[in-house]
Chain A
């Protein structure tokens, strides 16, 4: 047997100068995992502080810096690159039958930009931190905050270019390097998810870049763009910021939807229900997602007409989202379902995403939002989307493709237990926050009235359970790299090009060209090879 991509050069230098998309995916995975646990540590301290109504663990300044650090790291250094840069990098060329991405050296450069941006951001956090929140609202961020705003923004700016270049690479790859006979409607839905995500990365991230640049200019030169004291307008900042940051939510969730659309058919042994409507729905979410940013600004003083339009458009996003949820459910119907770890995470995703999406409609309702805005209801809502949705799906994908990436199997029982623990821990952490929000507990304070303590204790306890759910995979997946059983080429009897090559794949991806099926997801129930 010839060597795999993992054996093709064993020195650190060969890894740091690689242009192989699979190795770059591994580089991303390592970097992202580090940032994930740094961001998680900040969250842990936040939840510990909130276990009691008094501010007894950290000062209010430190608390502000902690939730800012948590937000900045988790949004820009973990969630946005997680599925696209790790799983997307590894799988996209395999799934469409290409030897690599369109611009392999650009891909490596994206990783270096990501790491550089990440390190600059971390430096700012370790020098003393930032207390503006991850949204950097003006005029606080330009006039009043005495923390490392400019340095953090520089890090975000650099990371943004990494996003843009990754998106560009994916778009060109999907357009030009699909194997012949691989038409658009034979693409796996994961690839559709990557395509939609890349469009957002390419079109929304530059607006963040210019906004950050203007913010830095205002802070450094004291010139008026966003700050009313100098003649600027803070609402302009919010418009520009959310024009990026709302679509950024879809950068987190669309890849997650792609992952889940691969896993559910495989473990239900059924073709995905409504393939085309799935592809159209994901593109619709990506497009309409550009037109809903104003729902973050209902109480900012923008005009009522604008608010009503943004509210309506936000409700419209629920339609394609619901199409996807119903299609996943319909795929399960009469399926021959197996509850392996990837499937447990994927089913968890469907349920939690549904809750996150429906509570989003509460917030999209103008009158209700006035009551709920800036309360823990909002915190719970977006964590259901980002953690219950995106992170769950990231773990689902990690467990699904781990045998392909490493060639090894992980302990089955432990992985199922971890998936269930993460699900329970997640709900225990964040469901009480919906109730807290409805009762009126505001976000971003390190103290609160004593009547909120019971629910906060549940939430903090849940965070502990959730942490165990995240640490377990770190242990057994690492363990499996050396000690796991050999996986074979296709342990799940899954369809798709990536399962037709070796595990781990060779550097050129395919020894022999894969075969294109007549329909995508050509699963048949009771296939003998699935009885592993």
Chain B
């Protein structure tokens, strides 16, 4: 028989990070359903999906990919700066930069959606393309990029709040919460890394 030593959340500094990892596991399955639907569509209408994919704006998509990858690197830098007392003054600025890059991504995405709406690429009775499967492609395109954008908005908001809190030296904007937010941001980035080739690059060659 041994007496137990009781633990509290504050004894476990990494508790938030583990929580975020579990949440991200859940998120993988959330997007997983969409990827299954994608797999189904692409195997059923390979030609329709290739044709539809050519109507996406590959230039803007690529620019956005670059923006998001950069922002992920910047947030990693922010976490690294936070851990080093000499570099800590950079943390808030780097967080703000991450949020700004995310916001630019969202603005560009908005213009893209607007253009696609004008070109009647939004699924419905007046859908522009007359290839079997093209409409299904754009259903998934809008659902996937839309849900990704929702995640982006949450991330940009969280990073902006943290940047502000960090610049005022608030207790809650310390490294633990930063790492959790950064983890989330990397996830949003990783989802996009899958979405970009699957949506923009279907048989682009030739």
Contacts and interface: CB of A to CB of B under 8 A. Distances in A.
Q: Of residues A211, A225, A239, A516, which shows the largest number of chain B Cβ atoms within 10 Å of its Cβ?
A: A225
Interface in B1-43: 1-9, 12, 14-15, 18-19, 22-23, 25-27, 29-34, 36-37, 40
24 contacts: A97-B6, A102-B12, A164-B23, A168-B19, A171-B22, A172-B19, A176-B12, A180-B4, A206-B33, A207-B32, A207-B33, A210-B34, A211-B33, A214-B33, A214-B143, A217-B139, A221-B123, A222-B124, A224-B139, A231-B133, A233-B44, A243-B33, A509-B6, A515-B4
Given A207-B32, A233-B40, A236-B37, A513 B6 contact: yes
Given A214-B143, A223-B123, A97 B23 contact: no
Contacts of A167: 22, 26
A182 B4 contact: yes
Nearest to B45: A231
A209 interface: yes
B25 A102 contact: no
Interface of B: 1-9, 12, 14-15, 18-19, 22-23, 25-27, 29-34, 36-37, 40, 44, 123-124, 132-133, 135-136, 139-140, 143, 147
Nearest to B27: A206
A239 B40 CA distance: 11
B127 to A, nearest CB: 9
Given A202-B22, A225-B136, 4 more contacts: A177-B9, A182-B4, A207-B32, A214-B37
B4 A514 contact: yes
A145 to B, nearest CB: 21
Contacts of B140: 225
Given A203-B29, A214-B143, A518 B1 contact: yes
B4 A100 contact: no
Contacts of A210: 30-34
A517 B36 contact: no
Interface string A77-117: 00000000000000000000111101110000000000000
A178 interface: yes
B132 to A, nearest CB: 7
Interface of A: 97-100, 102-104, 164, 167-169, 171-172, 175-182, 202-207, 209-211, 213-214, 217, 221-225, 230-233, 236, 239-240, 243, 497, 509-510, 513-518
A100 B1 contact: no
A46 B133 CA distance: 43
A18 to B, nearest CB: 16
Contacts of B33: 206-207, 210-211, 214, 240, 243
A100 B12 CA distance: 13
Contact of A172 (B5, B8, B18, B36): B18
Contact of B9 (A100, A182, A207): A100
Contacts of B9: 100, 102-104, 176-177
B4 A223 contact: no
Contacts, number: 139
A99 B140 CA distance: 45
Ordered nearest first, which 10 A-B pairs have the shortest CB separation?
A: A206-B30, A179-B4, A210-B33, A180-B5, A223-B123, A206-B29, A176-B12, A97-B4, A202-B26, A515-B1
A225 B32 contact: no
Contacts of A509: 6
Nearest to B125: A222
B1 A516 contact: yes
Contacts of A233: 40, 44
A96 B33 CA distance: 35
Nearest to B23: A168
Contact of A102 (B15, B27, B34, B143): B15
Contacts of A206: 26-27, 29-30, 32-33
Given A217-B143, A515-B1, A232 B136 contact: yes
Contact of A513 (B3, B14, B37, B135): B3
Contacts of A102: 9, 12, 15, 19
Contact of A99 (B6, B31, B136): B6
B65 to A, nearest CB: 23
Contact of B26 (A172, A203, A211, A231): A203
A232 B183 CA distance: 35
A178 B143 contact: no
B26 A510 contact: no
B3 A172 contact: no
B24 to A, nearest CB: 10
A225 B19 contact: no
Contact of B29 (A172, A207, A217): A207
Contacts of B25: 202-203
B32 to A, nearest CB: 7
Contacts of A97: 4, 6-7
Contacts of B14: 176
Contacts of B26: 164, 167-168, 202-203, 205-206
